[in-house]
């Protein structure tokens, strides 16, 4: 009888190359979290990981909260590792300050993104005539398209908050500011999900590993710098630090009551507007 120990297959995980994700997962991805399973990491922008989730392709994924109504039957929402916050919402940018968006063309990075849901909820409140047309463009093309007049406005996320003025653009509206002022809740942006078929015990172990990785990154921020910089090469280090400071916060370590309320609030409002399917009762409950 063989005494060979069979190593468990690494968990297949996908998250973005953005500084907040590489900061959060650095310790875990590099085997520094005691007892955590090994990771087989794929880097992909969130519109790609959203599609992966809908097709059930990987074990663990960073996705938009907006995609949850389509994937919660197969995936569970982890109570940590994601991105919520205050003062960190998507922006609507224009070339001219104060532009009336009624009937205009707006570029968005994805129609299955949280940014898009927040934009549609904002528009429902403040643009009774609605926008004229929504076009989907890759994230990095949106600000140049607005600057060059190919679209009237653009919905941007992440580090664009810190760089849009370099394109000569103006912030017409802050989707997060609108969300916070109308709900009092933090802004739900990106979620970590894992396959329910892994089982409750393993899901709890994954959540513990993610939480430990976040806390290790906070305890020794310098340790993650090489990983962050390797995957954000075009980003100024100071902007990367701002990005991390904005998107990695207490909700990354634990969603808590207000975090869960924010997620439920977003999906309930979006379902009422016909933007997403309604989620089943208890679908957000962690096993």
Single out the catalytic residue among 158, 170, 178, 243. 158
According to the annotation, is 195 in a ligand binding site? no
DSSP conformation class of 210: H
Residue 63 among known ligand-binding residues: yes
Report the alpha-carbon distance of residue 160 to residue 141 in Å, rounded. 11
Pairing, β 105-108 against β 153-156: parallel
**Is 62 annotated to bind ligand?**
yes
DSSP letters, 100-143, are --BT-EEEES-TTSHHHHHHHHHHHHH-TT-BSEEEE--HHHHH
Residue 268 to residue 265: CA distance in whole angstroms: 5
The closest alpha carbon to 109, from 98, 118, 101, belongs to: 118
Angle at which helix 221-231 crosses helix 200-219, to 10 degrees, equals 100
Active site residue 30: no
Give catalytic residues, as residue numbers. Answer: 158
Q: Which residues are annotated as a binding site for substrate?
A: 62-64, 114-115
């Amino acid at each position: 009888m063989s005494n060979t120990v069979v190593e468990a297959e690494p968990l297949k995980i996908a998250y973005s190359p953005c500084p907040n994700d590489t900061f959060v997962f650095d310790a875990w991805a590099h085997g520094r979290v005691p007892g955590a399973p090994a990771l087989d990491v794929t880097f992909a922008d969130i519109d790609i990981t959203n599609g992966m989730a809908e097709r059930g392709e990987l074990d663990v994924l960073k996705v938009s909260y907006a995609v949850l109504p389509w994937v919660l039957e197969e995936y569970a929402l982890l109570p940590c590792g994601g991105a919520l916050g205050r003062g960190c919402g998507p922006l609507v940018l224009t070339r001219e300050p104060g532009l009336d968006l009624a009937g205009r063309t707006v570029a968005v990075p994805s129609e299955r993104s949280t940014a898009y849901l927040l934009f549609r909820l904002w528009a429902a409140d403040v643009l009774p005539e609605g926008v004229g047309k929504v076009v989907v463009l890759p994230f990095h093309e949106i600000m140049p398209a607005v600057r060059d007049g190919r679209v009237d406005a653009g919905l941007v996320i992440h580090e664009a908050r810190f760089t849009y003025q370099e394109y000569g653009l103006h912030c017409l509206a802050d989707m997060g500011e609108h969300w916070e002022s109308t709900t009092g809740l933090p802004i739900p942006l990106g979620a970590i999900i894992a396959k329910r078929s892994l089982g409750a015990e393993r899901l709890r172990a994954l959540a513990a590993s993610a939480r430990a990785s976040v806390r290790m990154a906070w305890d020794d921020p310098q340790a993650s710098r090489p990983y962050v910089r390797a995957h954000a090469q075009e980003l100024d280090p100071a902007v990367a630090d701002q990005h991390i400071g904005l998107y990695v916060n207490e909700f990354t370590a634990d969603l808590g009551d207000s975090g869960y309320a924010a997620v439920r609030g977003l999906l309930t409002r979006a379902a009422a507007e016909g933007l997403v399917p309604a989620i089943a009762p208890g679908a957000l409950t962690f096993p």
